[in-house]
Structure 1
Amino acid sequence: MGTVIMHNVVSVDGFIADANDDVGPLHEWYFSGDHPIIERAGEQYDHSGAGSGFRVSSASAEYVRSMWASIGTIVMGRTLFDLVNGWEGDPPAGDHVVVVSHRPKPEGWHPEASYHFVDDVTAAIAKAKKLAGDRTVAVNAGDVGAQAFAAGLVDEVAMDVVPVVFGSGKRYFGAIDGQHLLEDPHLVIQGDRVLHLKFKVRT
């Protein structure tokens, strides 16, 4: 089975959005460079931005491309699903999405998309790993990610840290209790207006 990575863009004080789910400037670095990070069928990476709205700096491009290419399944909560309408059935990375929710998939919503609604975090991670095979399972941070992390289901923590202070809002680690140790960062990349960090979870 592949690695389970908890991942999100985050402010320096640990927030992934404000109290109203507004991400403010957190994602600006995704669109301010000249290196596309998604390659669609028949299109090549170039410096024009063709084929993708996501364009990052040269410092971030190789890391983000390889990270996204490794993803087989995304695990997300119902709040994010509703906010982005499930990316209209076309996630930015991976072939499958598992949504942790007590409510079923909206009736008639993109029946062709490989989206699976599961009402338990442990079952959701198990489903996501089965779908991903040897590829990575990417768990969005916040409440769902924190539940998976607290349950010992996360192998690595990945943060794209943006130099902004929110002061309050939705926390990267949700409402997690107690102290949890990570290893020293095994990846540190300084991009433009973002710092990429990856930590293995200490077991």
Structure 2
Amino acid sequence: MGTVIMHSVTSLDGYIADDHDAVGPLHDWYFNGTTPILPEPDAADGDFDHSRSGSGFRVSPASAEYVRGFWQSIGCIVMGRHLFDLVDGWEGRPPAGEHVVVVSHRPKPEGWHPEASYHFVDNVAEAIAVAQDLAGDRIVAVNAGRVGGQIFAAGLVDQVAMDVVPAVFGSGRPYFGDIDGPRLLEGPTVVVQGEGVLHTLYTVPSSRP
């Protein structure tokens, strides 16, 4: 099975959005450089999916190398229904990977992008099981936040990846949601300094059931 990595961009004080779900300056680093995260599409390649090229993002060379490797290793994304509704499920085209699992007590909206590999389940354990089956040996990327925190608390996360931006929100949507009690991670095992962002990766001591 592939590694399960909880991930998001976060402020210095641990928020992935403000109280109104706005990300403010958290994503500015995606546009403050000159290097595309993924290679530019070949105009002669008629089969290239321009919606997935990442060519709209221009970051520092260090960030591009780190993020490129991470994105290209993702097989499936796990997200909560709140984020799905906010971004309309990226209109059926996830930013990385081929599959998405949505944790929700409500089914997929009727008629919503039937061609997209989006799977709706009602608990976090099933979400990870389905995602790992879909991803195979590739990474399962869990969006941070309330549902991500539930998956982390259940001992189903192997690593925690944070793209830390030098901003302080004071309040908002916590990276780890409503998790109770302290948790001790190992690392960081990766530290990459980009322009306006610090990429870090931590290992979660094994607690798989």
**1-structure distance, mates of 2:115, 2:172:** 35
What does residue 118 of structure 2 align with? 115
Matched-pair contact (CA < 8 Å) for 2:37–2:54:
no
Which residue identity does 1:73 align to in structure 2? C
Displacement after TM superposition at 1:116 (Å) = 0.5
Structure 2 CA distance for aligned equivalents of residues 40 and 113 of structure 1 = 24
Q: Pairwise CA RMSD of aligned residues? A: 1.5
How far does the alpha carbon of each residue in 1:119-167 deviate from its partner, in whole angstroms, 9 at most, with x for none? 1111001000000000000000001110010000000000000000000
Amino acid at match of 2:168: V
Counterpart among 165, 176, 180 of residue 177 in structure 1:
180
Within the candidate set 85, 88, 92, 1:82 is matched to 85
Identity score, percent: 71
Q: TM-score, normalised by structure 2?
A: 0.91
CA contact (8 A) 2:76 2:135 kept: yes
Partner of 1:18: 18
Q: Deviations over 1:159-192 (max 9, x none)?
A: 0000000000000011100111100100001100
Between Structure 1 and Structure 2, how many residues are aligned?
Answer: 198
TM-score normalised to the size of structure 1? 0.94
Residue 50 of structure 2 is matched in structure 1 by: none
Moved more, 155-164 or 53-62: 53-62
Deviation at 1:42, TM superposition (A): 3.9
The CA deviation string for residues 73-130 of structure 1, in whole angstroms up to 9 with x for no partner, is: 0000111111111111111100000000111111111100000011111100100000
Q: Please give the alpha-carbon distance, in whole angstroms, between the structure 1 residues aligned to 2:109 and 2:181.
A: 36
**What is the SS of the residue equivalent to 1:25?**
helix
Cα distance in 2 between the residues matched to 1:51 and 1:2: 23
Report the Cα distance in structure 1 between the residues aligned to 2:63 and 2:133, rounded to whole angstroms: 30
Aligned-pair distance for 1:52? 1.6
For 1:136 and 1:142, locate their aligned partners in 2 and report how far apart those are by CA, in whole Å. Answer: 18
Structure 1 gaps of 5+ residues are 45-49
- 5 Å-filtered alignment, 1:85-104, equals 85-104=88-107
Could you tell me how far apart the structure 2 residues matched to 1:15 and 1:168 are? 7
**What is the identity, as a one-letter code, of the residue corresponding to 1:2?**
G
Kindly indicate whether the alpha-carbon contact (under 8 Å) linking 2:187 and 2:202 is maintained by their aligned counterparts in 1. yes
* Residues in 2 aligned to 1:134 and 1:74: alpha-carbon distance in whole angstroms: 14
* Secondary structure of the structure 2 residue equivalent to 1:139: strand
Unaligned 5+ runs, structure 2: 46-52
